[in-house]
Structure 1
Amino acid sequence: MQSNEIRALFLDFFARKEHLVLPSFSLIPKDDPTLLLIGAGMAPLKPFFTGEKKPPHTRLATCQKCVRTPDIERVGHTGRHATFFEMLGNFSFGDYFKEEAIAWAWELVTGGFRLPTERLWVSIYEEDEEAYQIWRCAIGLPEERIVRLGKEDNFWEIGVGPCGPCSEIYYDLGPEVGCGREECKVGCDCDRFLEIWNLVFTQFNREPSGELTVLKKKNIDTGAGLERLATALQGVSSFYETDLLQPLYRYFSELAGPENRDRTIPLRIVTEHSRGIVFLVADGVLPANEGRGYVLRRLLRRAARYGRLLGIEDTFLAGAVPILVEQMGSIYSELVQQRERIISVVKTEEKRFHDTLAQGMEILDRYIEQLKGEGRTVLPGSWAFKLYDTYGFPIDLTIEILAEHGLQVDRDSFKHDLAAQQQRARAARAATDQAGRQSYREAAGLKTVFTGYETTAQEAQITLMLVDGRPVETAGAGSTVEIFLDQTPFYAEAGGQIGDRGTIASGSNLAIVEDTVFTPAGQTVHRARVTAGSFSRGDRVEAAVDAEHRRAVSRSHTATHLLHKALREHLGEHVNQAGSLVATDRLRFDYTHFAAPSAEELQQIEEAVNRIILENLPVTVTETTLEAAQQAGAAALFTEKYDRDAVRMVSAGDFSRELCGGTHVGATGEIGLFRLVAEEGIGSGLRRIEALLGLEAYRLVSREREQLQKTAQALQTTPERIEQRLEELLEENRLLQKTNRELNQRLAGFMLEELLSKATLVEGVPVISASVDANGMESLRLYLDRIKERLPSVVAVLGAVNDGRVLLAGAVTTDLVKKGIQANRVIAAVASLVGGGGGGRPDLAQAGGKNPAALPEALRTVPGLVREQLAKSKEE
């Protein structure tokens, strides 16, 4: 039975049992910061099990993509360990329980999949008499094939909370796959008994006291690995032999070539990891140095390294994409939709790892050779840390490679060095942060009501003033003061948006607010200069925001939302905001992406934003719940924590929706003009884009127009013909360079006879040292080539003066290099006499100098230098 049939049969079976069949959830957990990746069929359904959310049906069934890496080192060495797998499951939320779960599992395994009953075994929790009776009496399974196991194997719990016993169904692959012991049965560590289905009976609650209480509503959570079912149903001994992995295995085997096809473990590792790599990227994960991005990076680098062991030198992992698209695209549409992006991400990351691997392996090989030569078996942690910190070589790869040589890493020492580096980084950050922060303990208990969404002017009362961090009762003209108000229209710096500016006034008393920030406790601080009169604590004042400054910042913030959406439209849905700066008519936006966007892509992004600006879409703010905003497609920052019951959703028509607390324009047309001005990489998988808008964008266009006009005048043409005029000038330059080369060649021909006539013999060796007319190093080398054509054995050193600097070039024919004469040494000695330096090879060298007047005398030393080298060579 093929895997597609197995998957369909399972889901159809439970659909007939009144289960709602749901599609696979993304590998990236939704609203669950406790999970890095989805690693079990029940993981995306956790809110239904905990009661946090109501399930769409009391009976569900899924085929869930999963990634799990704790056993990554065992992948390839066994036929059952995998990092990526599909988990078939049926779930009950207070509906049916143990009897139905066991009966239906048995019905499907024996009736639907038609696995022979004599090869089926089960395990139960040793104290679960109810499960035993169902298996023994209701199902009729022989007692000897019902194995009781302890809490470690057959009781599911995760600390305090719902828990319960489980029962597992095993398929006997046969004694030839096992350990050979007569007493071998379920529970043995060998590969003979393959677990194909786990039934978890969530019937208890573990209290904080440790006591078990019975749940009022009992749940069922089951998981049947598709790869394991396929192994049993296709009559093979490992899932690598199933139709799920064979197409990939054959592909990589062909790449490895006949000489490597028997290297089973590397082929298995590359095959298995390639599936996880492709599915992770398809779901939006990008390679990174931490989190789920590191899981992807580790899989990819491990697969790439084993590919090298198979003799595959070029990037090759992206070749798995079309195979998986054809094989599984009808089930997982994201593979089809994201095909080109997956290929690009995988190729880019693998290519980047090429350099790291080559450089790191060269150093690690030297370390291994040194350890073996010294009879040591442990690599010092400092050596491993240098590989990791200086060359970016992953520590897990170092550990794995050393293990292949019977060596290990001093992990404690490595962790110590890593912790020390992290501590230094934290200390540096803390020092930087401390420079611009204070505790504001004096403001404890004070509250500020923000009214800036509704108004830009607000009557308020001064509740506290600080000068140099100390409370004051009065602040007079000339003071720099931090003012706290009971309510304020000033927006404090947050979410990347800079703080408002404006004034605080009372009669003739005036303070200019230059910045607005939050204290660590969340109170608003107005950083101001008193320019007239004075203020006292308790004064009633008028707080007024600089409306033009606010509008300019609001233009930037709305434009940031439009840019974010345009980036996702043109680069892919994997793009996420990683930071931003929203200032007056300018913005900086950090985002996740695996490669530099092309010039064409950047132009499309800029045009998309300007198109939305021209459409003048209304920008609206909606107070709603987090769930409703997410259903509406609102983008959110992964790093932000949101109130589930009250979030602020900012929408630009139907184009973009984001959760945001910042200030915005009323319609996109108010932004005016949007211009991208910079784009660069700022880290692994992170990029930064900068833009101007509004008046700043207009001023940029004006400056560019002025520059074009000046350039056109200098080129004696019009702005429209600048490109054509440049092409004409470049062509003229190419012709001049060609003429110059021809003249140099003719000049070299004229000069050659004169140079040859200056040759002197030093102990039988022809030596030429002379000054020539040359307009560059290329001309000097041309002279040397001509000399060597005429004299097959010669030492030649030529000098020239060009733009007030000395140029030197020297050549030694191969026969004389063997006699000990080296051009690089001769040139270095001559160059030192003209105030310069240089180098090169024994047969060809060049140099420069600052003292043209010393050139004639320096060239006269060449015969003596040749004589010295010949003498030294004879002595050796």
Structure 2
Amino acid sequence: MTGQELRAKFLQYFKDRQHTVVSSYPLVPKNDPTLLFTNAGMVQFKDVFLGDEKRDYSRAVSVQKCVRAGGKHNDLEMVGRTARHHTFFEMLGNFSFGDYFKAEAIQYGWEFLTEVIGLPRDRLYISVFNEDDDAFNIWANEMKLPRERIHRMGEKDNFWAMGPTGPCGPCSEIFIDQGKAIGCGKASCAVGCDCDRYLEIWNLVFMQYDRDASGKLTPLPKPSIDTGMGLERLAAVVQGRTTNYDTDLMMSIINESAKITGRKYGKDDEVNVSLRILTDHARAATFLIGDGVIPSNEGRGYVLRKIMRRALRHGKLLGQKNPFFHKITSKVIEDFKGAYPDLTGNSDFIQRVVLNEEESFSSTLHFGTQRLEEILEKVHKEKLTSIPGEEIFKLYDTYGFPTDLVEETAKDAGLEMDMAGYEKAMQEQKVKASASWKGSGEKEVAPFYKEFAQNSPPTEFDGYKSTEGEAKVLAILKDGAQVDSAKKGDSIEILVDRTPLYGESGGQVGDSGNAFNDGVQIELLDAIKPLPGLIVHKGQVTEGAVATGDSLTLQIDKPTRQNTALNHSATHLLHAALKEVLGGHIKQAGSLVASDRLRFDYTHFSPLTEKERGRVESLVNEKIRENIQVSTNEMEIEDALKEGAMALFGEKYGDRVRVVSVPGFSKELCGGTHVSATGDIGLFRIVSEGGIASGVRRIEAVTGGTAYKKINSEYESLAAIRSILKAPTNEELAKVKKLLEKNRELEKEITSLKQKMVSGSDSSSEDDIRKIGDTSLLIKNLENTDAKTLRTYIDNAKNKLKSGIIVAGSVADGKVAMAAGVTKDLTHRFHAGNIIKEIATIVGGSGGGRPDMAQAGGTYTDKLDEALKRAEEIIKATPE
């Protein structure tokens, strides 16, 4: 039975038992600041379990893509070396939200494994929490399982909690006996043993308690079920494989990795490990990039980079000198496109990101090698026997330089590795990273909002069709606390049963407006959406008083709403235009839709060329001129996706969604407010385009009257330039080009003159050269000289001195530049890189280089002479 068949059978089994099939959640969890990545099937249902979100079903089933890369769940260094450690895996799960409980969950689990999959009953074993008599009795009495195959275990193994407080409960795990041959051989070997004989395949969690801060357990009014079973692990059991890597889910990728690297799988243990790492990490990289994660030096991007660079390192161990990893991700996409169709549309982008990281890593190895050479020189100079652990960690953390490559170099140099120091530095960094991780930036929802949402129906939003409506005040908050009433001058938050004001979400800012009746006037400054279905109005009482239970008329600020609608519809047109001009890899990575502007972040590696920018802008304005009617429809999310509607990365959707379409051009899932026809937008103008992160670009634009003002301002500026240049219309560009070319020629002449001056015979006269013992020293402050000319000066001075040390510096364009040179005969005593590195801190900068040549930059222009003086002190203090 293939992995694809197991996926399908699992979903169908639970669908036949009235479970709603729910698509996999993105690997970047929405609205959960505690998680780097989605690491379990229950993540997308967390708010449902907590009671903060209501769904229109009480049973669900999913196949969830998961990533675990570090922390308590996974040790990255073990991936590829054990049978079942992975960074990426798929989790099968069925869920009950106050519907069925232990008896049905146990029955479903047993029935699926024994009757649908056909696992032998006599090889299945069970664990239950030692105090959970209900679960024990269900297994023994209803499932007819021999009692000796049911094992009671402690809280560590069989009690699950969402956190220190909140929903929790006992769990029951299903194990399969894989036989004595792969066990530890001990007489005490049983369920719970660390060996591979008794393999856990399914965990059934019975959420039946609410734990408070004191540890007290209170039964939940509606107990729930959360189960999880690794697809790869199940496939290994069904297909009779001793490792997950040998299943059909991975073997085709392993074979492709072997083909690409020219190696054979199964012949050599270390080659096997490397091929497994390439396979696992290619799966993780493919899905993470597909869900919008880009390699970087922080947060999720840093974890992805670490995974990819570990794979690239193992590729090099297999002899790969040129980029290869992107070819393996292509195979991953081919294998998984049936289960995850979105991978196909992102194929080009995924491979481009991977190729870019491969090329970047080559550069990393180059600079890391240079730094390693400097460290080795220092180690030999100080007559150490090992490379300091802190230096090994810096190479790894700062340069991404693999520790095993350091180890190889150390062996060649006859040195040991201070791995204890490395581990200490690593642990210190983990503590710092843990302290600095602020999550995804989502704000913690106030307890009052959660409680209100649990006990009240959702706020009814009337704003798609109405700009004014009657509402009843359900609650008033002042300074975060609930109050019965508020008077003139009070800043408040009010919650009502229905509203025409749009609550901030999906990138669109919240509406502003007014609320009033005969006895009160309230200026509504903002509308927010702290939880799905809950709209909160922030405002100030300007006249009279308001109390809970009052009826109010709510009005939106119509001009502001209209301008916001222009920008939101224009954002959809921009998204579609970028896809058409740049390619299908374009994905939204963030947005802001306000009344005066729009901001759109998207995945792309290079800046827009002037031609591309012009095509995008022209295409959007073309669709505006066509005055296409904008349509909105509500439908099931699965139907919307089948029709080609774009689901935006990071957004959290319900089972029924609103689809906004510009027929023939754009179709997106969107809850925002829009124009009736594209012609209402009037005009679209890109204001700026630039990079904000690795692989992520940002466009800022304006529409309507604001766009007209922008273009008019640009025209006025052009007219002023024309006047200054005294250039006829349409000849401005030619005249500017001519002026710039002349300016470049003059700059070259100036540079040439400077170089001639500093390289002249007087630049290193006898008066400038000092003797420190037998060593000649030349220290010079060259005014208004650039870094390139400084280096020329150093080279010329070294040639003239034949033997000596030269340190020179200059202040130009408000910055400090310094350089140092040491003639070859003195590099055994003096290191230009070390000298320059120390004096660079004085001018507020950094630098370094080789023993014979180094340079630095800084910003403290008034400290140059002090830095040059310090250079002389360092040289004087150097022992013979």
TM-score bracket for the superposition, by shorter chain length = 0.5 to 0.7
- Alignment of 1:717 with 2:727, yes or no, is yes
Once the two structures are TM-superposed, the CA of residue 708 in structure 1 deviates from its matched residue by 2.5
Residue 673 of structure 2, aligned match among 641, 656, 663: 663
Residue 494 of structure 1, aligned match among 483, 492, 504: 504
Specify the alignment match of 1:269 in structure 2: 277
Contact (CA 8 Å) 1:385, 1:414: kept in 2 or not? no
Letter in 1 for 2:350: I
- Alignment of 1:524 with 2:533, yes or no, is no
Contact (CA 8 Å) 1:799, 1:807: kept in 2 or not? yes
- Alignment of 1:698 with 2:711, yes or no, is no
- Alignment of 1:78 with 2:78, yes or no, is no
Residues in 2 aligned to 1:283 and 1:528: alpha-carbon distance in whole angstroms: 44
- Alignment of 1:557 with 2:561, yes or no, is no
Letter in 1 for 2:81: H
* Structure 1 segment 99-178 matched on structure 2, within 5 A: 123-125=123-125, 149-151=149-151
Distance 1:420 1:716, change over 3 A: same
Distance 1:740 1:661, change over 3 A: closer
Distance 1:394 1:205, change over 3 A: farther
Residue 257 of structure 2, aligned match among 248, 262, 268: 248
Once the two structures are TM-superposed, the CA of residue 248 in structure 1 deviates from its matched residue by 0.7
Residues in 1 aligned to 2:305 and 2:342: alpha-carbon distance in whole angstroms: 20
Determine which structure has greater relative contact order: mean sequence separation of CA pairs < 8 Å that are 6+ residues apart, divided by chain length: 2
* Deviation digits for residues 816-835 of structure 1 (CA, Å, limit 9, x no counterpart): 9999999x99xx99xx9xxx
Using structure 2 for the length normalisation, give the TM-score.
0.58
Contact (CA 8 Å) 2:80, 2:273: kept in 1 or not? yes
Contact (CA 8 Å) 1:274, 1:317: kept in 2 or not? yes
Once the two structures are TM-superposed, the CA of residue 608 in structure 1 deviates from its matched residue by 4.0
Specify the alignment match of 1:339 in structure 2: 347
SS at match of 2:123: strand
Distance 1:455 1:429, change over 3 A: closer
- Alignment of 1:620 with 2:631, yes or no, is yes
- Alignment of 1:586 with 2:597, yes or no, is yes
Q: Which runs of 5+ in 1 are unaligned?
A: 110-119, 134-145, 211-219, 833-837, 852-857
Once the two structures are TM-superposed, the CA of residue 602 in structure 1 deviates from its matched residue by 4.9
Residues in 1 aligned to 2:698 and 2:288: alpha-carbon distance in whole angstroms: 23
Letter in 2 for 1:669: G
Distance 1:100 1:672, change over 3 A: closer
Letter in 2 for 1:123: R
* Structure 1 segment 168-207 matched on structure 2, within 5 A: none
Letter in 1 for 2:79: V
* Structure 1 segment 469-480 matched on structure 2, within 5 A: none
* Deviation digits for residues 326-358 of structure 1 (CA, Å, limit 9, x no counterpart): 788899876665432122222345566788898
Using structure 1 for the length normalisation, give the TM-score.
0.58
SS at match of 2:273: helix
Residues in 2 aligned to 1:429 and 1:254: alpha-carbon distance in whole angstroms: 50
* Deviation digits for residues 67-99 of structure 1 (CA, Å, limit 9, x no counterpart): 67645554332356555579999xx99999989
Specify the alignment match of 1:854 in structure 2: none
Distance 1:94 1:516, change over 3 A: closer
Letter in 2 for 1:78: T
Residues in 2 aligned to 1:438 and 1:752: alpha-carbon distance in whole angstroms: 79
Specify the alignment match of 2:718 in structure 1: 708
Specify the alignment match of 1:321 in structure 2: 329
- Alignment of 1:299 with 2:343, yes or no, is no
Distance 1:718 1:13, change over 3 A: same
Once the two structures are TM-superposed, the CA of residue 701 in structure 1 deviates from its matched residue by 1.4
SS at match of 2:600: strand
* Deviation digits for residues 572-611 of structure 1 (CA, Å, limit 9, x no counterpart): 77766565432223112345x3745543655554444333
Distance 1:255 1:346, change over 3 A: farther
Contact (CA 8 Å) 1:649, 1:660: kept in 2 or not? yes
Contact (CA 8 Å) 1:566, 1:609: kept in 2 or not? yes
SS at match of 1:651: strand
* Deviation digits for residues 706-744 of structure 1 (CA, Å, limit 9, x no counterpart): 223333343443453444334434444455556667778
Distance 1:128 1:686, change over 3 A: farther
Contact (CA 8 Å) 1:450, 1:490: kept in 2 or not? yes
SS at match of 2:353: helix
SS at match of 2:701: strand
Residues in 2 aligned to 1:63 and 1:10: alpha-carbon distance in whole angstroms: 10
Contact (CA 8 Å) 1:452, 1:490: kept in 2 or not? yes
Contact (CA 8 Å) 1:462, 1:541: kept in 2 or not? yes
SS at match of 2:686: strand
Once the two structures are TM-superposed, the CA of residue 613 in structure 1 deviates from its matched residue by 1.9
Pick the structure with greater CA Rg.
1
* Deviation digits for residues 426-467 of structure 1 (CA, Å, limit 9, x no counterpart): 9x989xx99xx999x9xx999998654444456899999999
Distance 1:644 1:185, change over 3 A: closer
- Paired residues, number: 758
Specify the alignment match of 2:214 in structure 1: none
Distance 1:777 1:676, change over 3 A: closer
Once the two structures are TM-superposed, the CA of residue 650 in structure 1 deviates from its matched residue by 3.6
Distance 1:87 1:231, change over 3 A: farther
Once the two structures are TM-superposed, the CA of residue 636 in structure 1 deviates from its matched residue by 5.4
- Alignment of 1:689 with 2:699, yes or no, is yes
* Deviation digits for residues 735-789 of structure 1 (CA, Å, limit 9, x no counterpart): 555666777899999x869998999999999999999999999889989988887
Residues in 1 aligned to 2:688 and 2:595: alpha-carbon distance in whole angstroms: 17
Residues in 1 aligned to 2:427 and 2:800: alpha-carbon distance in whole angstroms: 67
* Structure 1 segment 748-827 matched on structure 2, within 5 A: none
Once the two structures are TM-superposed, the CA of residue 546 in structure 1 deviates from its matched residue by 4.6
SS at match of 1:251: helix
Contact (CA 8 Å) 1:619, 1:653: kept in 2 or not? yes
* Deviation digits for residues 49-69 of structure 1 (CA, Å, limit 9, x no counterpart): x995999xxxx9x99988676
Distance 1:345 1:122, change over 3 A: farther
Letter in 2 for 1:695: G
Residues in 1 aligned to 2:828 and 2:402: alpha-carbon distance in whole angstroms: 46
Which range is displaced more, 582-591 or 712-721?
Answer: 712-721
Letter in 2 for 1:563: L
Letter in 1 for 2:80: G
Once the two structures are TM-superposed, the CA of residue 679 in structure 1 deviates from its matched residue by 3.6
Residues in 1 aligned to 2:816 and 2:187: alpha-carbon distance in whole angstroms: 89
Specify the alignment match of 1:677 in structure 2: 687
Specify the alignment match of 1:547 in structure 2: 558
Residues in 1 aligned to 2:648 and 2:329: alpha-carbon distance in whole angstroms: 30
SS at match of 2:81: coil
Contact (CA 8 Å) 1:458, 1:544: kept in 2 or not? yes
Residues in 2 aligned to 1:769 and 1:639: alpha-carbon distance in whole angstroms: 57
* Deviation digits for residues 223-267 of structure 1 (CA, Å, limit 9, x no counterpart): 886667778699x999999555133135346699x9x99565345
Once the two structures are TM-superposed, the CA of residue 674 in structure 1 deviates from its matched residue by 1.6
Residues in 1 aligned to 2:311 and 2:272: alpha-carbon distance in whole angstroms: 14
Distance 1:178 1:737, change over 3 A: same
* Deviation digits for residues 610-644 of structure 1 (CA, Å, limit 9, x no counterpart): 33322222223445566665555555567666665
Contact (CA 8 Å) 1:25, 1:64: kept in 2 or not? no
